[in-house]
Chains A and B, each alone.
Chain A
Amino acid sequence: MRPEVALPILVPLLTGALSLLAWRSNIMQRILSITGSAALLICSIWLLISVHQEGHVVMQMGGWAAPWGITLVADMLSAIMVLLTGMMALAIAIYSLGSATPSHEKFGYYPLMHLLLAGVAGSFLTGDIFNLYVWFEVMLIASFALLILGGERAQMEGAVKYVTLNLVSSAIFLSAIGLLYGLVGSLNMADIAVKLNQTEHSGLVDVIAVMFMVAFGIKAAAFPLFFWLPASYHTGPVAVSALFAGLLTKVGVYALFRVFTLIFNQSPDFTHEILLWGAALTMITGVLGAAAHFEFRRILSFHIVSQIGYMLLGLALYTPLALLGGVFYITHHIIVKTNLFLISGIVHRLHGTYDLKRLGGLYRSHPGLSLLFLIPALSLAGLPPLSGFFAKFVVIRAGLEAGAWVVTGVALVVGLLTLYSMIKIWAEAFWKAVPEGVQPQPPQGVGGEAGLALMYLPIILLAGCTLFIGLNGQPIYLMAETAASQLMNPQGYIQAVLGGVGP
């Protein structure tokens, strides 16, 4: 029994179920939400410590041995992702106390949020490809419902696109699982990896690999399958946007990392080459889309797309240093992007709009908030000494060492354009005076001053994390190095799952 592998899934599931029981009491749901998220964070730290000591932590569900039963397995990458899930869960739970309106709470905001977290954690920890599909669906159905909380026109339009594209992606994923099962007769990822190396390498393997790439590419919002993301992410409640921005696309990226290092590592000349150019185009389209927009959350949404490109670049180069950079980048990006969305929520609360042309004067009225914005914004653009600098540095260094000159050049230019977008938000929302003819709106939202303080608290904590990674990146770097070496040598993973290290 290794309870720490199962707990990050069970805790949010239980929290979600309990808050469903407390459907009528908003206060009970809030208390459960905070307790559940804090418990999730503690479990994820426990898991990280275990993984750090032992390398791989494996638990066979129901005591069925590996290729037959469902396996939960955590390596360093999973543990890092689960830890970030726990951190974001707690941050969003605190923020929601100040930002969730009573009507959102009445329609199941907290239960849905925790079911979503259970789906995310399940996707990170499962060692079974069909089980991964099931966790994806758990996550998706909760995200559908969260996205349309409030039921405004824009949300409906965004949700139609979001639901359609994600269901198409699920169907492709399911078809690919079917074909893969027909080929190797197994669903356990470690077992598939072993059997796929024993079978003759035929064209069908590449077809299946590309189907997985398309399915996860849609979820990760990679070029050319990204367009559902900027059409929908800015429509939901702001805490939901922040949670989606931080975690959901990264589940797709994680799945790509897992599948294309463990299972489809036979012909990197073909698969990883496609990923490489996909990564370059993802970076360019994302950053150009952001440059054209003047709406706070839309700019940030497009920047999710462009940053996904850097993570995919780390995977596509497929060297130890590049994978290290990819993992480091995911860590940095989840913290920073969630934080930027949370700040946009405070700006909306203060001025009643996300439109940059109607915003202004925040530096004069709220210098503290401006400083808090600058930390993640400059980190996103990659300025030293913040976390983004080291993440970009490692990825670009790996690109240069691998001799991928064009793609590395693209990554550098995109970094510059990211800075342009962040400066645009800074200049429009914070620096310039309030535009003439715009009536300053009274502060909105629930909870008054206390509510606002609760919204500030996670922002300060996350900005602290960004600074910490920037000034003291060594522990994160070492963890990412372990994760990368485990990904490059999947033998350890396979042995841990199949080698009878059971309950």
Chain B
Amino acid sequence: MEPIMALIVGCLYAAAIYMMLRRSIVKLVIGLMLLSNAANLLIFTSAGMQRGAPPLIPEGALRPEGIVADPLPQALILTAIVIAFGVLAFAVVLIHRAYNIIHTDNLDQMKDTDT
């Protein structure tokens, strides 16, 4: 399973970087979305994938019985998804406002503040 996941993660990163290098700000935001998804899947994969029971501790015991899944990566990913969702919502509104004000979606024409 890990090699397939690694490939998927690699493809997502590649797609994200390709999209971010395009000139359109819409594609830029799509690239950012893919990038955050790639990072989430990377956490999922690198933390070790195993089939395990839910990590529930029986009453009176100090540790769960048998092989259990590591709940921490899932908590990390959940947090990261929520954060990425909020930030992307902001980014979408930002490019909409930027388009209304600058009247272009071409990043090459947004150079006034660079030089």
Contacts and interface: CB of A to CB of B under 8 A. Distances in A.
Contacts of A181: 43, 46-47, 72-73, 76
A164 B76 contact: no
A134 B80 CA distance: 8
Contacts of B43: 174-175, 177-178, 181
Nearest to B114: A231
Interface in A104-121: none
A15 B1 CA distance: 48
Given A157-B102, A167-B87, A182 B94 contact: no
A182 B47 contact: yes
A47 B73 CA distance: 33
A167 B35 contact: yes
A78 to B, nearest CB: 23
B90 A153 contact: no
A156 B98 contact: yes
A179 interface: yes
Contacts, number: 108
B113 A231 contact: yes
Interface stretch (A92-100, A143-151, A240-248, A319-327): A143-151
Contacts of B48: 182
A181 B80 CA distance: 15
B79 interface: yes
A216 interface: no
B59 to A, nearest CB: 20
Contacts of A174: 36, 39-40, 43, 80
Contact of B98 (A157, A170, A183, A187): A157
Nearest to A152: B101
A154 B114 CA distance: 10
B97 A167 contact: no
Interface string A129-145: 01001100100110011
Nearest to A166: B87
Given A167-B35, A171-B39, A178 B46 contact: yes
Contacts of B95: 160
A271 B91 CA distance: 34
Contacts of B112: 153-154, 157
B72 A157 contact: no
B86 interface: yes
A167 B88 CA distance: 9
A-B pairs, 10 with minimum CB distance: A182-B46, A178-B43, A156-B98, A174-B39, A157-B110, A171-B35, A175-B39, A137-B83, A178-B42, A231-B113
7 contacts: A133-B80, A153-B102, A157-B111, A168-B35, A177-B76, A178-B44, A179-B42
Interface of A: 130, 133-134, 137, 140-141, 144-145, 148, 151-154, 156-161, 163-164, 167-168, 170-171, 174-175, 177-179, 181-183, 187, 227, 231-232, 234-235
Interface of B: 20, 25, 28, 32, 35-36, 38-40, 42-48, 72-73, 76, 79-80, 83, 86-87, 90-91, 94-95, 97-98, 101-102, 107, 110-114
Given A141-B86, A154-B113, A156-B102, 10 more contacts: A137-B83, A140-B87, A151-B97, A154-B112, A156-B97, A159-B98, A183-B46, A187-B72, A227-B114, A231-B114
